[in-house]
Structure 1
Amino acid sequence: MRPQAGRPAAPRPGTGRPVPAGRRPAPAAAGAVRSARRMPNPRLTGLGGGLFSGVLMLALGGLDLLLFGGSLTVYGVLFLPVCLLTALWVRASDLLSAPVVVPIAFAVGLLPVADGGHGFGARMMGLVTALATQVGWLYAGTLAAGVVVLGRGVRRAVARRRAASRP
């Protein structure tokens, strides 16, 4: 939009470029945008996303065991933001790896939380039981990562198409 006749456009803070008259953001929204821009924006490779989510879920599983006695519901709730962060922080060229690595991270993080006796067989049985009973959290996290990846991929394709159509 162009500035209206008789009203000069105010310069954008820090850029010196004018903001169109009808496009000025509300003060609260501008503060939220500034704080979002200060958030970290790492770009993880597919392997890095897997390591990030796996190590973080293992740490959260141990923390859940210490603080809540191994509550699987708390673990499932903590899994959802990890899925979203992994899907948001993975590189654009490795987008498809995010929905693949988050279920693996869920299983890795269940190791300290899953009920099981002493010994390898009892621990694996507890892990399989926890995976079977907490499949809702697993599906929800994987679906959330898939939706974020799909949105990022569509946005990337639209931007590429617009760039190709410009002379």
Structure 2
Amino acid sequence: MYGVRPAPPARPAPLLAQVLRKLPAPRLTGLGAGLFALVAMVLIGAVARLLFDGSAVVYGVLFLPVCALTALWVRDADLVTAPIGVPIAFAAGIVPIAGGEGGFGGQVMAVVTALAVHAGWLYGGTLVAGVITSVRKVRQMSRRKRRTRAAAGAPAGAPPAGRR
């Protein structure tokens, strides 16, 4: 009895960790991730037009989390599609807030002008998606390298065979 301590009670995880664990973590294909971003941005564009009088700032600020979610939810095999799909979604979603009058030509000119004027949001969101997918790819490559070393029986810190 003496000298044996009871185990300390387990502490609950921090609140932020509990909330993050409850968030969905789907794995979308490249097409699914592009469709998610496209539908989300068209809806955000429509809401910005209706509720915020077509505010491009609201649209741009909401574009950033859509880019992050797209990059986080795309599956590992399709990582390259996230930074490609989000600019297309941005362009499609900006149509409702672009304005434009005078038929099809006026609408096209308004969309082109809106894309040029708000290119900072476009570049920023694409950068967010690119950084997240790059980090995920590097982590995937390091996991793969550790698995191949473990399968070969080499110690974790040892250099690969042939590079000594």
Please indicate, yes or no, whether the TM-score normalized by the shorter chain is above 0.5: yes
Distance 1:142 1:8 in 2: 52
Partner of 1:94: 78
| Secondary structure in structure 2 of the residue aligned to 1:69 | coil
Residues 88-167 of structure 1 mapped to structure 2, 5 A cutoff:
88-166=72-150, 167=153
Distance 1:7 1:149, change over 3 A: farther
Partner of 1:73: 57
Partner of 1:56: 40
TM-score (norm 1): 0.83
Q: Provide structure 2 residue ranges, at least 5 long, that are not aligned to the other structure.
A: 154-164
Distance 2:29 2:148 in 1: 26
State percent identity of aligned pairs. 54
2:16 is matched by which residue type in structure 1? A
Partner of 1:22: none
Q: Provide structure 1 residue ranges, at least 5 long, that are not aligned to the other structure.
A: 14-25
Distance 1:8 1:97 in 2: 52
Distance 2:20 2:7 in 1: 25
Distance 1:163 1:71, change over 3 A: same
Q: Alpha-carbon deviation of 1:74?
A: 1.0
Distance 2:127 2:104 in 1: 31
Q: Alpha-carbon deviation of 1:7?
A: 5.9
1:35 is matched by which residue type in structure 2? V
Partner of 1:17: none
